[in-house]
Amino acid sequence: MRCIEMRAGVKTQNRGKILVSDFDGTMTEHDFFRVALSHLPLGAAAPWELYEQGLTSHFAALATIFSGLRINEQELNALMEEMQVESGLTDALDRLHQFGWSLVIASAGCAFYIERILLQAGITAVIHANPGSFVPGHGLFMKPPGQSPFFATATGIDKAAVVRHYLGRGINVAFAGDGRPDLPPALLVPPERRFARGWLADELKSRSEPFIRFSRWSDIADNLCGGDA
């Protein structure tokens, strides 16, 4: 079976529509942890390397990296700016809403910076992410979302469980992501509503799984609103 990168403008039935989207590296140009590592000593990347080798969990790797940030509030804001939230994001969301799509963010990152970034952008969305608190000079401390119905030890938030939740309610679900935790949820949605870039796109292609590649998050809105999406 060959890999197919689906074309834009595929129509879907209008019976409730939700776009479940990753945040870091999907709605932004860069992941927060990678920006953080660029301001930390070289050895700070060790937890992520262990994760890639299967020797620790995604949650543990990020939590360790975040806790090493000995920065103040102003420096934290600068890191969030370095993530480069896509310009035109609010316009893309407006288009999605006009076509009946609601946004749900499912992230294995920390809700602390996600909420702050969206607040600054004037964006309201349902967010499923790991809670955390920032202590200037001491670190960003991410906690497992033990009370979440989508809790998973490995990632904190089980994105596939989020997608299954909405699919189980008979809702049309689209998914967008870029990283390793995004593979299981991406495989749950129809190929014409499966959006990927980065590692996720490469992995789907290697598995000969059809998907739609995007370079900007607004490409997803253009796709879903291309017809009676």
- Residue 229: the pLDDT is 41
Output the pTM of the full model. 0.91
- Residue 13: the pLDDT is 36
Longest dimension (CA), the chain: 53
Q: What pLDDT band is residue 1 in, cutting at 50, 70 and 90?
A: very low
Packed helices 217-224 and 89-98: angle between N→C axes, nearest 10 degrees: 20
The SS3 call for residue 164 is helix
> Do 59 and 154 meet the contact criterion of CB atoms below 8 Å apart?
yes
- Residue 9: the pLDDT is 35
> Do 99 and 229 meet the contact criterion of CB atoms below 8 Å apart?
yes
pLDDT tens readout for residues 143-200: 999 999 999 999 999 999 999 999 999 999 999 999 999 999 999 999 999 999 999 9
pLDDT tens readout for residues 2-16: 333 333 333 333 458
Q: Who has greater pLDDT, 9 or 42? A: 42
The least confident of 61-65, 66-70, 122-126, 163-167 is 122-126
- Residue 15: the pLDDT is 53
CATH 3.40.50.1000 residue window(s) in the chain: 17-29+86-224
The least confident of 19-33, 47-61, 85-99, 155-169 is 85-99
Class in CATH terms, 17-29+86-224: alpha beta
CB under 8 A, 24+ apart: contacts of 45-53 = none
pLDDT tens readout for residues 83-124: 999 888 999 999 999 999 999 999 999 999 999 999 999 998
Q: How many CA atoms lie within 13 A of 21 on its CB side?
A: 27
Q: Kindly tell me if the per-residue pLDDT of 49 is higher than 90.
A: yes
- Residue 228: the pLDDT is 44
pLDDT tens readout for residues 191-204: 999 999 999 999 99
